[in-house]
Chains A and B, each alone.
Chain A
Amino acid sequence: MKFLSKFYIGLIFFLLYIPIIVLIVFSFNESGSLAEFSGASLVWYEELFNDEEALSSLLNSLILAVSSSVIATIIGTFGALGLYRMKSKYVKGAVNTVTNIPMMNPDIVTGVSMMLLFVAVAGFLKSQSFFGFGTMLIAHVTFNLPYVLLSVMPRFRGLDKSLSEAAQDLGCTPARAFFKVELPEIVPGIVSGLMLGFTMSLDDFVISHFVSSPDFQTLPLYVYNQTAHNVKFSMYALSSLIVVAILIILLVVNFAGSVGRRKVSEKRG
């Protein structure tokens, strides 16, 4: 049974990973064919690093991911604070539900709904170049918001209300009390919201697909355009690099955390 379960795990992961492994292996393939491996070389990586379009879209992706996650975190954190303090249960519920719409909806519906809004606004303003970084930023902030709320809200719920009251009794203004007393407590939630937003935004293709313009192309859009045309092998190199980067980040995040945890448990033990 034990062997069987190990075998099953191995089999599924093997199947899950073949395409990715093939992709990485063939990104070193000199001939640029997917059917035969003719010899290892780094030509495709070289080509990738000379491909300005790819590099600029990577840069765009990072700019967009950073700015949208930061804006979403700021709006979302204050939003969570306001909601937490809000007395009316109905308003609270309504805002919560509305914010969660982009999370529950399929991406394509969120994408087309934003596109319709932007098309209407562009038509109203008679603007010819309305789509671009601005629309992308708005869309990304919008779908990041629920994730920020999701990670910050539980922190607020876990707060000890008397602490803030004590601070105010001791002469803090409410704003000061928030920044001095409550904010440090909810920082972990804010950080995970920020990280979530950052990765969601970096990864998003579907919503961007509907609200983008050629001015501002992100990495997933670049990959989409590449795969719709004659695929250059530098795309494989790019994909391999992305996979490896994500693997490293995941390993660091998971295992750096676990070192800390083990130490704690050793001390306790």
Chain B
Amino acid sequence: MKKNVNRRIFSLVICFLCLMLPVTLSLSGCSANGTTDSVTLYVYNWGEYISDGSEGCLDSNKAFEEWYYETYGVKVNVNYSTFSSNESLYAKLSSGSVSYDVIVPSDYMIERLIDEELLAELNYDNIPHAAENLLPEFFGETSVHSDYDPGNKYSVPYMYGMIGIIYNTTVIPEDEPNLGSWQLMWDEKYEGNILQFNNSRDAFGSAQYFLGLDVNSDSDEDWRAALEKLKEQKPILQGYVMDEIYNKMENGSAAIAAYYAGDYLAMYENNSDLEFFYPEEGTNLYVDAMCIPKCAKNKEIAERYIDFMLTEEPAVANAEYTYYASPNRVVVESEEYIEYMGEIKEDAYEKMYDTGSVATSTYRNLTGDKLLLINTLWEELKSDVTVSGAIYVMCGIILAVLIACAVASYVKKAYRRKFYVSK
């Protein structure tokens, strides 16, 4: 028996050593790398929001690392991570447990971060390309889209776009009367085929646009009305998702979803049955901009990172990768870019930059009590689950059987005890 135990242990140890081997090897490799001085730049961006080197495109972060090393002789290591909603970005940032150097929130979140003094003022000496390359309507004193940060003291626009509704033409017929309207998202015919945003602001926004309410409303009733609309929609939804939408729309798991315009083209590339429109009741125009949080450890490098992303090569690569509309002159005027967009889809360029065909508005930061209210209402929506009768019946049966078993075994034991005692 002893021998058997020893063998087993021996084989376990061998296994463990095999597993450790790569670790020790790579650890030694790691320390070799670690000896050179390098700075880590923490970048926190939306998912799928930067050219990442796949399929032969430019890897913007790598390009920055190389460019920085060549220009300044310092090794910078970009630690790039992604979030899927402004709210989760805010949570991470305000918890104070992690620090980032560059973040890319949307307009209303930038306003909130400025209000709460979480952003650092930018030094434009390090970002010369901002004034040079950005379109005047998006940057500086002339900007009409920077209400969230007048004069762009804290933020440099990265991409912009509008929310539209994506639908699958194999499921939704051409003569569907609700095409062109938010009503499509509430159409019971397509029960189980509709996806809604899994973040409070965009989800409430969709209901507010549909109802013709102000998305920055001051009145509690407006928000409650939107909640009721969303509750009404919940039973016919397939689910609340964010970036999972790509796979679901591409493989036909869902047929209707509201999402950001640029992402539509990314899906269209993989499934040409998908079509897209901006709802006539009006929709949201958002600007995502690069900012530096106060807690940033390498502000100067972060500014140079922002500047680098405004230069032609990475800016065009990013715009081509994300398909979002770019506020950058060098992108919009680039022949290569326009041609590229045309190849993806004939009207892609026009669609992405079409800010005039429907009424648009932007989300603004809300007062503290409204933010709290949205949070509460969102919780109310998410926790609004119905326990169907079938589930009650099943649980009832299970509990009944359990109780019956317990009683039976108790009775049996009592009987036996009596039996043996009497014997």
B23 on interface, CB distance cutoff 8 Å: yes
> Which listed residue (A62, A130, A227) contacts B19, Cβ 8 A?
A62
Once the chains are docked, how many angstroms separate the CA of A263 from the CA of B13?
A: 20
Q: Which residue of B lies closest to A115 (CB)?
A: B97
Q: Which residues of A contact B54 (CB under 8 A)?
A: 47
**A252-B4 contact given A33-B251, A198-B16, CB 8 Å threshold:** no
Q: Are A198 and B95 in contact (CB under 8 A)?
A: no
> Which of B27, B97, B247: most chain A Cβ within 10 A?
B97
Judge whether A231 and B247 touch: CB under 8 Å: yes
Q: Which of B102-130 contact A (CB under 8 A)?
A: none
- Interface membership of A94, Cβ < 8 A: no
Bitwise, B391-411 to A at CB < 8 A (1) or not (0) is 000000000000000000000
CA distance A195 to B10 in the complex (A): 12
* Pairwise interchain contact B8-A214, C-beta atoms closer than 8 A: no
* Nearest CB on A from B253, distance (A): 10
Complex CA–CA separation, A240 to B81 (angstroms) = 24
Shortest CB–CB separation between residue B346 and chain A, in angstroms? 24
B190 in contact (CB, < 8 A): no
Q: Is the CB of B26 within 8 A of A59?
A: yes
Does B8 lie within 8 Å of A130, measured CB to CB?
Answer: no
A63 interface contact, C-beta 8 A: yes
| B99 adjacent to chain A (CB < 8 Å) | yes
| A5, CB-defined interface residue at 8 Å | no
Q: Which secondary structure characterizes the binding site on chain B?
A: helix
Chain A residues within an 8 Å CB radius of B244? 227-229
Which positions 1-55 of chain B face chain A at CB distance < 8 Å?
Answer: 1, 3-9, 11-16, 19-20, 22-23, 26-27, 30, 42, 44, 47-48, 54
B73 proximal to A (CB < 8 A): no
Question: Contacts A128-B295, A228-B243; is A257 near B8 (CB within 8 Å)?
Answer: yes
Task: Write out the residue numbers on chain A whose beta carbons fall within 8 Å of the beta carbon of B99.
Answer: 128-129
Say which residue of A123, A195, A263 sits within 8 Å of B96 (CB atoms): A123
B 120-142 to A, binary, CB cutoff 8 A, 1 in contact else 0: 00000000000000000000000
Question: Is B79 interfacial (CB-CB < 8 Å)?
Answer: yes
Contacts of B5 in A (CB 8 A): 188
Q: Per-position contact with B for A112-128: 1 when CB-CB < 8 Å, else 0?
A: 00000011001100001
Given contact pairs A119-B95, A214-B79, A195 touches B16 in the complex (Cβ within 8 A)? yes
Least CB distance from A46 to B in Å reads: 12
B74 within 8 A of A: no
Instruction: Report the minimal beta-carbon distance from B112 to chain A, rounded to whole angstroms.
Output: 19
The residue among B3, B8, B14, B20 with the most chain A CB atoms within 10 A of its own CB is: B8
Distance of A35 from chain B, by nearest CB (Å): 6
Q: Which residues of A contact B96 (CB under 8 A)?
A: 122-123, 128
- Determine if A253 and B11 form an interchain contact, defined as CB atoms under 8 angstroms apart: yes
Interface residues of B in 190-247 (CB under 8 A from A): 242-244, 246-247
Provide the residues of chain A in CB contact with B385, threshold 8 Å: none
A173 to chain B: which residues have CB within 8 Å?
A: none
Counting CB contacts under 8 A, is A97 at the interface?
Answer: no
| Pairwise interchain contact B95-A35, C-beta atoms closer than 8 A | no
Docked CA distance A195–B18 (Å): 12
Residues 242-269 of chain A, each 1 if its beta carbon lies under 8 Å from chain B, else 0? 0000000100110011011101100000
Taking a contact as CB atoms under 8 Å apart, the answer to whether B97 and A213 are in contact is yes
Q: A230-B47, A264-B3 are in contact. Are A253 and B12 (CB under 8 A)?
A: yes
Q: Is B298 an interface residue (CB 8 A)?
A: no
Per-residue B-contact encoding for A62-82, CB less than 8 Å = 1, 0 else: 110010000000000000000
Q: In chain B, what residue has the closest Cβ to A123? A: B96
What is the distance, in angstroms, from B13's C-beta to the closest C-beta of chain A? 6
Q: Is the CB of A264 within 8 A of B47?
A: no
Q: Is A237 part of the binding interface, using a Cβ–Cβ cutoff of 8 Å?
A: no
- Which residues from B are CB-within-8-Å of A215? 42, 79, 98
Instruction: Find chain A residues with CB under 8 A from B27 CB.
Output: 63
Instruction: Determine which of A47, A59, A129, A249 lies in contact with B15 in the assembled complex, contact meaning CB atoms within 8 Å.
Output: A249
Would you call A109 an interface residue if the criterion is a C-beta within 8 Å of the partner chain's C-beta atoms? no
Contacts of B95 in A (CB 8 A): 119
Cβ A66 vs Cβ B20 within 8 A? yes
Q: Which residues of the other chain, A, contact B84 by a CB distance below 8 angstroms?
A: 228-229
> Which A residues touch B15, using CB under 8 A?
195, 249, 252-253
In the complex, A194 has a CB within 8 A of chain B = yes
Say whether A118 contacts B47, CB under 8 Å: no
Task: Judge whether A41 is part of the interface by a CB distance below 8 angstroms.
Answer: no
Cβ contacts under 8 Å, A62 to chain B: 19, 22-23, 26
User: A122–B96 Cα gap in the complex (Å)?
Assistant: 8
Q: What is the distance, in angstroms, from B113's C-beta to the closest C-beta of chain A? A: 15
Asked if B178 CB lies within 8 Å of chain A CBs, one says no
User: In chain B, residues 40-82, which have Cβ atoms closer than 8 Å to a Cβ of chain A?
Assistant: 42, 44, 47-48, 54, 79, 81-82
6 additional A-B residue pairs with CB within 8 Å, beyond A59-B30, A195-B16, A249-B15: A62-B19, A63-B27, A128-B98, A188-B5, A229-B243, A261-B7
Taking Cβ atoms with an 8 Å cutoff, the residues of A that contact B are 33-35, 47, 59, 62-63, 66, 118-119, 122-123, 128-131, 187-188, 191-192, 194-195, 198, 213-215, 217, 225, 227-231, 249, 252-253, 256-257, 259-261, 263-264
